[in-house]
Amino acid sequence: MATAVRVMRKVRSINQWSSITPLNDVPAWYMDALQTVERLTNMAENWDSYGSARISMLARTSANELLSILSLNRTPPPHIAPVASGGLQFEWVYEDRELELEILPTGDLEFLITSESGEMVEGPVSDSNRQIPILISWVLTGDTLEAESDLDREYATSPG
Per-residue pLDDT band at 22 (split at 50, 70, 90): low
Does the residue 23 lie in any domain? no
The pLDDT, as a whole number, for residue 150 is 55
Name the nearest CA neighbour of 71 among 103, 30, 111: 30
The Cα–Cα gap between 107 and 126 comes to: 12
pLDDT tier at 26, thresholds 50, 70, 90: confident
The Cα–Cα gap between 122 and 101 comes to: 10
| Within-domain flag for 21 | no
> Confidence band (pLDDT; 50, 70, 90) for 37?
very high
What's the whole-model pTM score? 0.79
Q: How many domains does the chain have?
A: 1
User: 122: domain range?
Assistant: 28-155
131-to-60, 101, 135, 145, 149 alpha-carbon distances in Å: 20, 11, 6, 11, 10
Assigned domain for 95 exists: yes
Query: Can you give the CATH number for the domain in which 36 is found?
Result: 3.10.450
Per-residue pLDDT of 75-113, as tens digits, reads: 899 999 999 999 999 999 999 999 999 999 999 999 999
